[in-house]
Structure 1
Amino acid sequence: MGGHWIGLTFCCWWQLCLAQTLRPRIANARFATNNPTLTTIALEKPFCIFDALMSTGASYEVYLYVMADSAYHSRLPVTDNSSKPLNTTFQQTNGGLSGAYRAATFNVPNCTSPPKLTDAADATKAPTVLTQYLIRVGEDDSCLYDPEFLEACNPPLSQDTAYRFKYILVDRTAGVMKDETVWSHPIKTKKLKQSSTIDTWPGRRSGTMIVITSILSVLTFILVLGFLAALLQAVLTTEEMPTETRYASQITQHAVPRIQEAAEL
């Protein structure tokens, strides 16, 4: 019996350590093809990370915190001294440049039935699968201009900027943090390219563009060649028509005298 409790304790301790070493990750490219963008970054939700620490009778939710990599500190707190999550906003932290802000709140993902990659190919199931699987940071800009908005604000990110992310598990009843992940590795948004820097040299075109251009060139050449052949045939036909008329008229003129000579004889 004592060995059973020791094994259970070790298992819980191992799950706790595992949760502490896991970190938010960028979403799979098969689910989010254009990621990151100029102002958004799609992350995987924390599947099967907090399950071992969730008691049966409690209700939990997940908070997502965001900060710029320039403000990163491994021990930067996201709770106060009583383990209550901080409600810092995007505006208070200057968009994450001076600290972490709470960007989103959502239910703990169901580890027993994670989303299937095959369902993402179905147009009717894709929105549900994406909502279950990922959280897109920077997709909401309405909260910035609503003075009465009191929930977590998830406004657009800055372009060409690296960010870090953290998930924490919160007990809804007590309002305190029960577990957390470590901060993610830096993930950088894309940079807007200037029109003057776009390379238009054909050698830098993709293989598909080269194939399409080649096919169009061949079709154009065949079309021009057919037009020239039709024009040449029309010219030759026009030149041959007078020759045939003269030949027929000569035959008619010589035939009349011969018939008269035969009648006189």
Structure 2
Amino acid sequence: MGPWRYLIGLCCFLQAPLAGADMPLLANSDFFSLNPTQTTIALEQPICMFKSAVNVYLIGIVAGAPNTPLYDGNKKVNASTYSGTQGGKTGPYIVAKLPNQQCINIQALSNMADPTQVQSILSKYVVRVGADVTCLTNPNFVGYCNAPLQGNTQYSFKYLFTDSGDIVQSETSWSLGITTVNGKASSTIDTWPGRRSGGMIVLTSILSTLMFFVFIAYVIGFAYSIANGSPAKEVSRHDTQTTAVLQKAQEPGEVTYSSALTGSERYAPTQQA
């Protein structure tokens, strides 16, 4: 056990310098193909970097802003909030306070195939900067505001490892600049087809609506005519004349019926002379 004891001691001695030499990195592009976006940046959480720490503070700052101290002389965290720095424009701010992830009981990324474990696994490995859209408007919000980032703006980040009293034990270097996506102005959006103007789009919408109402009126009229029936045409009648002649030989005193049938006339018997 002698040599192993010295090796363990050396690892503990180098733990803080190794942590400080690291920096926050963008999350794996296999899981976040659109990163960064216009308002968010997904970063990898620090895992097994400083085991004795209890909490991890994620600090953010806009490129070019004054880099004010993150902790006081006693190494207690005193960085400002999102609102106090205008979202990092006037100095570094606390993005989030996270529990320090230990090496034990970490879920394997291979379990991502199980849809029921995806969210819990990602919450262990990734922190999404700018994910909270309500903390600025909710008057009852408690904690550090991880509000949406500004589009087309470069940010840098670092981690502070603290104990339970928020005393800094170690820290990483600032990350390289990460620029959010530049959002398009509404006037530059391609209004397919043919890049129609706003007036043309409104006119087309109105005409389409009118055509719809005309079609509905036609359908209603057609259905009404079927339900009530079409006007019946008067049946043409033809007057016919029929002459009935008794062909057999008449005997004296026998009556012969000779008539012309027109319309609804009845037979009129005639006495033969």
Name the amino acid aligned to 1:67.
I
- The Cα shift of 1:139 comes to 0.7
- The Cα shift of 1:130 comes to 1.1
Structure 1 residues 91 and 9, CA gap change in structure 2 (3 angstroms): same
Q: What are the ranges of 5 or more consecutive residues in structure 1 without an aligned counterpart?
A: 201-265
Structure 1 residues 4 and 128, CA gap change in structure 2 (3 angstroms): closer
Distance in 1 between residues matched to 2:140 and 2:147, nearest whole Å: 15
Structure 1 residues 93 and 138, CA gap change in structure 2 (3 angstroms): same
- Whether 2:191 is the aligned partner of 1:191: answer no
SS in 2 for 1:145: coil
Higher relative contact order (Cα pairs below 8 Å, separated by 6+ residues):
1
CA contact (8 A) 1:158 1:189 kept: yes
Greater alpha carbon shift after TM alignment, 2-11 vs 112-121: 2-11
- The Cα shift of 1:72 comes to 6.0
Distance in 2 between residues matched to 1:186 and 1:151, nearest whole Å: 26
From 48, 54, 77, the equivalent of 1:60 is 54
- The Cα shift of 1:175 comes to 2.9
- The Cα shift of 1:65 comes to 0.8
- The Cα shift of 1:132 comes to 1.2
What's the counterpart of residue 34 of structure 1?
A: 34
Aligned residues: 192
- The Cα shift of 1:26 comes to 0.5
SS in 1 for 2:36: coil
What's the counterpart of residue 43 of structure 1?
A: 43
Superposition pairs of residues 230-249 of structure 1, within 5 angstroms? none
Name the amino acid aligned to 2:184.
K
Structure 1 residues 183 and 199, CA gap change in structure 2 (3 angstroms): farther
| TM-superposition CA deviations, 1:2-61 (whole Å, max 9, x none) | 97776554322322211010011110012222211110000000011112xx1xxxx711
Structure 1 residues 116 and 31, CA gap change in structure 2 (3 angstroms): farther
- Whether 2:39 is the aligned partner of 1:79: answer no
- Whether 2:104 is the aligned partner of 1:143: answer no
CA contact (8 A) 1:31 1:120 kept: no
What's the counterpart of residue 11 of structure 2?
A: 11
SS in 2 for 1:39: coil
Structure 1 residues 19 and 198, CA gap change in structure 2 (3 angstroms): farther
Distance in 1 between residues matched to 2:66 and 2:116, nearest whole Å: 40
Structure 1 residues 170 and 7, CA gap change in structure 2 (3 angstroms): same
Query: Radius of gyration: which is bigger?
Result: 2
Work out the percentage of aligned pairs sharing the same amino acid. 37
Write 1 or 2 for the structure with the bigger share of helix.
1
CA contact (8 A) 2:58 2:96 kept: yes
What's the counterpart of residue 172 of structure 2?
A: 181
CA contact (8 A) 1:31 1:130 kept: no
- Whether 2:21 is the aligned partner of 1:21: answer yes
SS in 1 for 2:43: strand
CA contact (8 A) 1:21 1:182 kept: yes
CA contact (8 A) 1:114 1:133 kept: no
CA contact (8 A) 1:66 1:101 kept: yes
Task: Give the TM-score normalised by the residue count of structure 1.
Answer: 0.65
Q: What are the ranges of 5 or more consecutive residues in structure 2 without an aligned counterpart?
A: 193-273
Distance in 2 between residues matched to 1:175 and 1:118, nearest whole Å: 34
Distance in 1 between residues matched to 2:8 and 2:109, nearest whole Å: 34
CA contact (8 A) 2:79 2:92 kept: no
Report runs of 4+ in structure 1 exceeding 4 Å deviation.
1-9, 197-200
Name the amino acid aligned to 1:175.
D
Name the amino acid aligned to 2:61.
M
**RMSD between aligned alpha carbons?**
2.6
